[in-house]
Amino acid sequence: MRKVSTDKITPGDVAADDVVSPSGNVLLNRGAPVTPAMGRRLRNWGIAYVYIEGEDNPDKGVTPGGAKSEVEIKSELYDMFLGTLDSANMRKIFDAVCNYKIKQQGGA
């Protein structure tokens, strides 16, 4: 199983787990094919990532020393800020926190 950002879904991906909305509704069942178009719809519903069947590529998106990649940092923070990003001020705070966390990890 691998964690994939909803904007990085590729044709042929299959959901490794149910995708559930913040309100608890199942949006996509485990084992269902996930298309890039579905990824865009999931992102619109506030879903930042999904778990896809298959092995995780240990070299893809991992920074040296086990630090989190920029995508992982943003995905985790997006989950924390979910439901608040409609506000321009909260979007600024989200961006500032992302930049701070990325710099802490030694990222770009």
- 21-64 tens-digit pLDDT: 877 888 889 999 999 999 889 888 888 889 999 876 544 444 44
Distance CA 65, CA 59 (A): 12
90: containing domain:
64-104
pTM, two decimals, is 0.51
Q: Indicate whether 26 belongs to any domain.
A: yes
Backbone angles phi, psi at 25, to 5 degrees: -80, 140
Q: Indicate whether 11 belongs to any domain.
A: yes
Please indicate, yes or no, whether residues 69 and 99 belong to a single structural domain of this protein: yes
Are 16 and 52 in contact by the 8 Å Cβ rule? The answer is yes
Q: How many domains in the chain?
A: 2
Q: What is the pLDDT of residues 55-89, one digit of tens each?
A: 765 444 444 445 677 777 787 888 778 788 788 88
Please indicate, yes or no, whether residues 47 and 22 belong to a single structural domain of this protein: yes
